[in-house]
Amino acid sequence: MKEEIFLPIMEYEGIYEISNYGNVRSLTRKVTANTGYDGKRTVRERILKPSKAPNGYLGVILVTADKGRYTGKIHRLVALHFIPNPNSLPEVNHKDGNKQNNYFENLEWSDRLGNYTHAVNVGLMPKLSKDEKGRFLPNG
């Protein structure tokens, strides 16, 4: 098994990091708070517990005083930081079809058609056909 590598999350450098295994780490830092003599408290380094969206993808909430709250999908964060995207493809595909396996070698950049085709081929989605009005319908 390969070593876990953490990289700073773009635009959240010094606050959060993402690993090639899909772990998100909050770094030790001082934050403004209502407690403590100087109005600051220390947030200790820890791995954030991801939330599971109804569609099965894992996400995480990043919070900063200046940026507010950002809810990010972990597979996109891993892809943005560990997988080159020379063709500027917009979507991230899980090669094994498991939306919770965010290891970087299981992810690849894709377009909508490629992502859909892969989902049909691995049995995650039914093949669609069009009716006479051009609307997509499941086959069978």
Domain ranges of the chain: 6-138
Phi, psi of 65 (to 5 degrees): -65, -40
Domain 6-138 classified CATH 3.30.413.10?
no
Amino acid, single-letter form, for residue 64: T
Q: Specify the pLDDT at position 140.
A: 45
Burial track 58-69 (b if 16+ CB lie within 10 A, e otherwise) = bbbebeeeeeee
Residue 25 or residue 40, greater confidence: 25
Encode pLDDT of 72-125 as tens digits. 999 999 999 999 999 999 999 999 999 999 999 999 999 999 988 898 888 887
